[in-house]
Amino acid sequence: MAKSKSRDIVLALGGGAARGIAHIGVIRELEKAGVNVRAVSGTSIGSVVGAVYAAGELDAYEAWMRELEWKGVVKMLDPVLIGAGLLGGDRLEKMLARFGGEMNISEFDIPYCAVAADLETGSEVHITTGRANDAMRASFAIPGLFTPVRRKNRWLVDGGVACPVPVTAARKLIADLPVVAVNVNSMRGPMTDGDTIVDDASERDIDPPVPSAGDEGSGSFFDHARDALIRRITRKQSGSPRLLSSLSDSLAHLEHRLTKFQLAADQPDLLIEPKLGSVGLFDFYKADGLIEEGARAASEIIESGALDKALKKGRLLPKLPEWLRGLR
């Protein structure tokens, strides 16, 4: 049976590190509602979920995320002793290669855009060509944490610096369709299932298990240096917030405030905001709860009738003069 074009949309998936795993739940609920995602733009983790979806690998990626434990998250970190960031990102690239990262964006099932930021000017950079892994890597290069990426004579960093929720990029992909945006940094409070996602800062700072150099077998100086850096990143010291939670909370607050101004200036046709409380930067091992909260937030919007209203508005867009479409 042919899909109804009257339910076509463009997705704009915002940044937020582990919070962005909630995007998966949002997509699942939209699919259940018969929505056709015709294109997707993404910032940071939104670029990752967007690329995996556009590559047709969301089922495999979701299954892998649901099995991920904290120790698995730590093993994906690759500290660098010298450079403009604490982490290199190579291990993440290798992981993403299994879920469409090695594909060229032109091979994706639908149009796709990853949003990064120009380190020199702070301007928004839209990446719609080239290898998917390169686009994602630039989009999630959190300043100070991941090393910047060189592309076309520019150093690029995390797109959240310029555009936490990529509404403008989404509209450029297909101008005549309604944009459904997902903001995972709304700071609207913790989700109701406290057993799944912890909203207690003290509990988030419990020392996690960290692999030792012996786990890798070599025990070289560089192994020990790497492990020492991982411990510094992940463990609290003298009762103070650990580096990751401090950086995570600061980024979440910064992006939350920037997003408020951005969305006021460029409003999507529909906005979905999961309640993710104090989910940390690398809390990817909480995927079950994150996905469930994304699904809950999307379901609430759908049941309210807001989605049908946005779709109805979208059907009118092609009939309006171009200058008037921009006023939506």
Active site residue 212: no
Catalytic, out of 8, 134, 158, 266? 158
Eight-class DSSP state of 268: -
C-alpha of 112 from chain center: 14
Catalytic, out of 41, 44, 245, 299? 44
The answer to whether 183 and 137 are in contact (CB under 8 A) is no
291 closest CA partner among 67, 62, 138, 55: 62
Angle between helices 58-67 and 287-304 (to 10 degrees): 130
Other CB atoms within a 10 A radius of the CB of residue 309 amount to: 13
Active site residue 158: yes
Q: How far apart are CA 66 and CA 46, in angstroms?
A: 17
C-alpha of 157 from chain center: 14
Angle at 107 between CA 102 and CA 109, to 5 degrees: 115
Q: How far apart are CA 3 and CA 235, in angstroms?
A: 50
The tokens 């299954």 sit on which residue?
Answer: 63
The answer to whether 168 and 124 are in contact (CB under 8 A) is yes
Q: How far apart are CA 232 and CA 210, in angstroms?
A: 11
Q: Token pair for residue 139? A: 């989009």
Q: How far apart are CA 276 and CA 125, in angstroms?
A: 27
Interacting residues of 100 by C-beta distance below 8 A, sequence separation 6+: 51, 52, 54, 55, 56, 57, 108, 132
Q: How far apart are CA 9 and CA 217, in angstroms?
A: 50
Q: How far apart are CA 105 and CA 87, in angstroms?
A: 25
138 closest CA partner among 147, 214, 64, 129: 147
Active-site annotation, residues:
44, 158
